[in-house]
Amino acid sequence: MHAVGIVPAAGSGLRLGADRPKALVPLAGRALVRWSVDTLRASGVGDVVVAVPGDELAAFAAVLPADVRLVVGGATRTASVRAALAAAPEAADAVLVHDAARPLTPTDVVARVLGALAGGAPAVVPVLPVVDATVSVDGDGVVTGALPRETLRRVQTPQGFARPVLADAYDRLPPGAELADDAAVVRAAGVPVSTVAGDERSAKVTVPHDLALAELAVAR
Q: Which residues bind Mg ion (CB under 5 A)?
A: 11
Q: Which is nearer to ligand CTP, 194 or 206 (CB)?
A: 206
Q: Which of 1, 2, 15, 30 is the binder for ligand CTP (CB under 6 A)?
A: 15
50 and 68 in contact (C-beta within 8 Å)?
Answer: yes
Which CB, 94 or 211, lies closer to ligand CTP? 211
User: Is 120 or 156 the residue whose CB approaches ligand CTP more closely?
Assistant: 156
CA–CA distance from 132 to each of 138, 141, 149, 153 (Å)? 19, 17, 8, 11
CB of 220 to ligand CTP, least distance (A): 24
Residue 42 and residue 34 in contact, taking contact as beta carbons nearer than 8 Å: no
194 interface partner picked from Mg ion, ligand CTP, none, CB below 5 to 8 A per type: none
Residue 187 found at the interface with ligand CTP (CB under 6 A): no
Q: How far apart are CA 20 and CA 35, in angstroms?
A: 17
Asked whether position 10 contacts ligand CTP by CB under 6 A, the answer is yes
State which residue, 73 or 142, has the beta carbon closest to ligand CTP. Answer: 73
Question: DSSP string of 155-217?
Answer: E-S-EEEEHHHHHHHHHHS-TT---SSHHHHHHHTT---EEEE--GGG----SHHHHHHHHHH
Give the closest residue to 25 by CA, choosing from 200, 199, 159, 214. Answer: 214
Based on the shown chain and the rule CB under 6 A, indicate whether residue 80 belongs to the binding site for ligand CTP.
Answer: yes
Q: Is residue 158 part of the contact set for ligand CTP (CB under 6 A)?
A: no
Binding site for ligand CTP (CB under 6 A): 8-15, 22-23, 51, 73-77, 80, 99-101, 204, 206
